[in-house]
Chains A and B, each alone.
Chain A
Amino acid sequence: MSKERKLFLIVAAVLIVGSFLITTQMENRFYYKAAYVVLQYVVLATAWNILGGYTGYVNFGTAAFFAMGAYTAVALIKTWKPPLYVLLVTGGLVSGLLGLGIGYLTLRLKGVFFSIATLALAVVLQMIISNWSYVGGGAGTAILKPRSVPLFSNYDEFLFFVMAALAVVSVAVAWLIEKSWIGRGMAAIRDNEEAAECMGVPILKLKLFATTVSGALMGIAGAPFSYFVVYIEPTSAFHLDYAVNSLAMPMIGGTTTWLGPLVGAVLVGTAQQIATVTLSSEMNLLIVGSLLVGFVVFAPDGLVGLFGKIRARLAGREA
């Protein structure tokens, strides 16, 4: 195990333990709710970036994968109310399979057509869920949280801890992919798919891997959603915000590294939580939209790229 990898694992473990320690100290429930949303975006942005940033296939259907995770959980809760980890695993499995299916689409659909297909997937799935009365149909359904959970004083704190752990795990997954030959192969696909294939990069395998992992992570992020919102309905689970945010955050942070989506999600996510309270939820969407367009136009490499450029310039001046 390399030194870098050891350090990364230690930081990850410290973060998970740290988030548990926070729940023993802090009381205010609002902060847990806000932090949960930000952490959920860390998972979604990181998952989006594995496909969009590394491989170069723009996914507009984050909401589809997220909501499939959420609704798989709802269906299971309605039948036998399994513990949360079962929901996480099955949510990840279902959305992962969905991702695998989308992966086969990349055989025929490139560029904008792939993106529209993912958007189509979200719209069609929303329609199916809206017509499926077992999980509440279009009107939605109420989900009862488990009353108590060991080690935690209430369920919101537990959900916060779970999401914190998921965020750490998903960033770790992105980091591992990026540092391995898989990540380099993906970058080759992003830069020039035909050339990569000619050089012997197993492009289909890598693309399927990217769509599956990306979809599975989004599904896992969605699995606890129904417990978090208590009342789940298709319009909120399939909201376009998930697609826009999970794409805007890596774009703002920087798409080529694991750090970019993390920075973007934490900054933009936190700013959104503040803006929702102080301004309005529409204003916060306006901010995200403007930031997205602004960064794509003026700083295509995101904050990480911008920071790197400034550092390079400073180093040049010193030398």
Chain B
Amino acid sequence: MLSIEFLLNALIAGLLLGGFYAAMSAGLSLSFGLLDVVNIAHPAFIIFGSYLTFYVNEHFGFDPILAGLVFAVPSYFLGVAVYRIYYNCFEKTGAESLRGLVFFFGLFFLIEVILIITYGVDYRLVRAFYIGKSTSIGSVGIAYRLFVPFLVGGMLAAVLYLFLTKTFFGRAIMGVAQDSLAVQLMGVDPIRIKTVAFGIGIATAVIAGSLLIIIGPVEPTIGREYIGRVFAVTVLGGLGSMTGTLVGGLILGVAESFTSSFFGPSWALAVSFGILLICLAVRPSGLFGR
């Protein structure tokens, strides 16, 4: 039973899943990790993205990844609008800790309920030519429904990394994260930077949503399972580090894959919360923390 092939298969599946987890958490790493906006509704935006993708795939036969990229643009503006409300109502008055948290929790719940009302609680899935096929290297099988999200997710993390380190705006975001006042003295409006960063965070969430529905069928309430996962990856990776997010995602993916191979899939969910609790207790700044 316990053969090398079995372990290798679990490892590969975990790594592929991990790449996707990194894509899911990248946006949160930006908004929460760098800018301290506790966007607990992040997974809800991911599920929202899945449903947008499902809609255009079902009715117009759009490719899921293309749909995710197209919808990323309007979702950016959605993110900007959400941050504006958050800033004006909570951050400006310094009431963000308790009420801001409740605000995002309410938003999470609202998105979930609206999706239930519009689409019901049935599982939805998308069609694309690469879903359902797989290839194998030696005895290790690679399913395209995991491999494609892994690729796109990895690219997303890479693009975000380049954006943060190489462009003016990206550096400004890092600047706001490190010392908001100093950035302000340099003539940059930190609120505008934060708005842009939050918008990008939501846009990546919607792209991650299109990847999620490629991996498997989606229903409105699975968002809560991902709260633990995205926060575990973000914290484990060190808040705000893109390299850390990628590594954190891979670790979580492999750990979950092994857990579900050895103990059954129903225990996989405990892994993310376990990692999160251990990480917060032992090393809150994460692996690649500042």
Return the contact of A124 from the options B89, B105, B273 (Cβ within 8 A). B273
The distance in angstroms between the C-alpha atoms of A170 and B97, with both chains bound, is 27
A244 to B103, CA, bound (A): 11
Contact with B along A242-256 (1 / 0, CB 8 A): 001001100100000
Contacts of A271 in B (CB 8 A): none
Q: Report if A153 contacts B (CB, 8 A).
A: no
Q: Is the interface of B mostly helix, strand, loop or mixed?
A: helix
A245 to chain B, nearest CB (A): 10
Write the nearest CB–CB distance from A303 to chain B, whole angstroms.
15
B221-244 vs A: 1/0 string, CB under 8 Å?
100110110010001000000000
* Alpha-carbon distance A33/B193, docked complex (angstroms): 52
Closest Cβ of chain A to B272, distance in Å, is: 8
Whether a CB of chain A sits under 8 angstroms from the CB of B277 is yes
Query: Of A56, A127, A130, A286, which one neighbours B98 at CB under 8 angstroms?
Result: A56
Given contacts A240-B109, A293-B107, contact A117 B227 (CB under 8 A): no
**Which single member of A58, A112, A120 contacts B228 (CB below 8 Å)?**
A120
B60-112 interface with A by 8 A CB criterion: 85, 89, 95, 97-99, 101-103, 105-107, 109-110
B227 touches A116 (CB 8 A): yes
Task: Indicate whether A109 reaches chain B with its CB closer than 8 angstroms.
Answer: yes
Contact A119–B102 (Cβ < 8 Å) = no
Restricting to A86-145, which residues have a CB under 8 Å from any CB of B?
108-109, 111-113, 115-117, 119-120, 123-124, 127, 130-131
Evaluate contact between A282 and B102: CB separation under 8 angstroms. Answer: no
Inter-subunit contact B40/A115 (CB<8 Å): yes
By beta carbon, the residue of chain B nearest A288 is: B109
B82 to chain A, nearest CB (A): 11
Q: Are B109 and A300 in contact (CB under 8 A)?
A: no
Q: Is the CB of B276 within 8 A of A60?
A: no
Q: Are B266 and A127 in contact (CB under 8 A)?
A: yes
* A120 & B273 in contact (Cβ 8 Å cutoff): yes
Total interface residues on A, using CB and 8 Å? 37
Decide if B106 touches A112 in the complex (CB within 8 Å).
no
The distance in angstroms between the C-alpha atoms of A247 and B40, with both chains bound, is 15
Determine the residue in chain B with the shortest Cβ distance to A297: B89
Q: Is the CB of A244 within 8 A of B89?
A: no
Residue from the set B38, B102, B273, B277 with the largest chain A CB neighbour count within 10 Å: B102
Quick one: closest A residue to B95, CB to CB? A300
Point out the residue from B38, B85, B106, B277 that lies within 8 Å of A292, measured CB to CB.
B106
Q: Which of B50-58, B113-121, B181-189, B194-202 touches A?
A: B113-121
A289 contacts B by Cβ under 8 Å: yes
- Give the CA-CA distance A127 to B271 in the complex, in Å: 12
Instruction: Give me the interface of A with B, judged by CB distance under 8 Å.
Output: 52, 56, 58, 60, 108-109, 111-113, 115-117, 119-120, 123-124, 127, 130-131, 190, 240, 244, 247-248, 251, 282-283, 285-286, 288-290, 292-293, 296-297, 300
Between A and B, 24 residue pairs with Cβ closer than 8 Å are A60-B105, A108-B284, A111-B97, A111-B101, A115-B101, A116-B40, A117-B276, A119-B227, A119-B228, A120-B273, A123-B225, A123-B228, A123-B269, A124-B273, A130-B266, A240-B224, A283-B117, A286-B113, A289-B106, A289-B109, A289-B110, A296-B89, A297-B85, A297-B103
The 5 closest A-B pairs by CB, nearest first: A120-B273, A293-B106, A289-B110, A292-B106, A112-B38
Besides A111-B38, A297-B89, 13 more A-B contacts (Cβ < 8 Å) are: A108-B280, A108-B281, A111-B97, A112-B32, A112-B101, A119-B224, A120-B277, A123-B269, A123-B270, A127-B269, A289-B113, A290-B110, A296-B103
